[in-house]
Amino acid sequence: MIMHSLKYHLEQAVKNKVAIGHFNISNIEGLWAVFNAAKALNLPVIVGTSEKERDFIGLKQSVALIRSLREEFDYPIFLNADHTYSFEKVKEAVDAGYDAVIYDGAEQPLEENIKITRQCVEYARSKNPNIVVEGELGYKGTSSQVLDSIPKGVELDKEYLTSVEEAARFVKETGVDLLAPAIGNFHGMLSSGHDPALNIDVAREVAEAAGIPLVLHGASGNSAEDIKASIDAGVSIVHVSTELRVAFRKSLEETLAANPKEVATYKILGPSVEAVQKVVTDKLKIFNER
């Protein structure tokens, strides 16, 4: 895999009707799992850190870790400031050297969402012309947990999903590179392991109206068929987080139960890296089927 900019790899994903995998991490174990999976499949990959994940790892430390892998292996691994809820926090990520940023104004009134998103776009591009900026339109919840029911406030009826008119206006007035719409997706995943079907018709209509690549958030729990259909409809980046957390925790619990006296951290956490890597591998294969 030849190292190019994130914008280049995004253009290739659009051209080839595939999607770049976006996987959230909160520690170096998760980072190695994501990187090893992508490298083994020879695919570009995006690592995401939300506000709380950035607080846990460290803002500048996150940038340094990704750059170290990119430089050592000459590999297209990129860092995204996922789910950022204020201009000030977007500015922090841009200044720290993130490759991409998201302003999440999904809970804000449309006018306010447009206003702040535009401010984020203008600032980001003034500092780094190659940065990729994403906006969100349509509430998808904020949890990254295993849920017994659809998150409060999330509506899956078509009338509540992102509209063609709002998508077109949002993109025109903000200038974002990517749009994360509500198409029946939500953050977290149901305990059944199967989330409701995505509305592919809405995804296709919004993609055509927006004229830019879409991002599927909250893909944990969505079926492979739904994900592939969404990619065909215009999705070029797919986010997965909760499934990684579930795999990490399950493996850790099993390792501790089987080795109650083990205290070497690398021995305890090694199987969890492998478990997360398997999930990432499986997802990347789905995202890149043609």
Q: Are 181 and 138 in contact (CB under 8 A)?
A: yes
Active-site positions? 82
At residue 83 the predicted structure's pLDDT band, cuts being 50, 70 and 90, is very high
- Residue 21 sits at the vertex; the CA angle it makes with 220 and 290, to the nearest 5 degrees, is 100
> Rounded distance, CA 46 to CA 125, Å?
19
Q: Are 120 and 127 in contact (CB under 8 A)?
A: no
Q: Is the pLDDT of residue 140 over 90?
A: no
Three-state secondary structure call for residue 3: coil
Lowest average pLDDT, out of 35-39, 85-89, 198-202, goes to: 198-202
Q: What is the mean pLDDT of the chain?
A: 94
164-183 burial, b for 16+ CB within 10 Å, e for fewer? Answer: eebbebbbeebebbbbbbbb
Query: What's the predicted TM-score (pTM) here?
Result: 0.94
> Rounded distance, CA 182 to CA 150, Å?
14
pLDDT score of 226: 94
Domains, the chain, ranges and CATH?
6-287 (3.20.20.70)
Q: Is the pLDDT of residue 143 over 90?
A: no
pLDDT 10s digits, 174-191: 999 999 999 988 777 778
Q: Are 67 and 99 in contact (CB under 8 A)?
A: no
pLDDT score of 144: 77
pLDDT 10s digits, 196-243: 889 999 999 999 999 999 999 988 888 999 999 999 999 999 999 999
Tally of CB atoms within 10 A around 289: 12
Q: Is the pLDDT of residue 290 over 80?
A: no
Strands (E) across the chain are located at: 20-24, 45-49, 77-84, 100-103, 132-137, 146-147, 178-181, 189-190, 214-216, 235-240
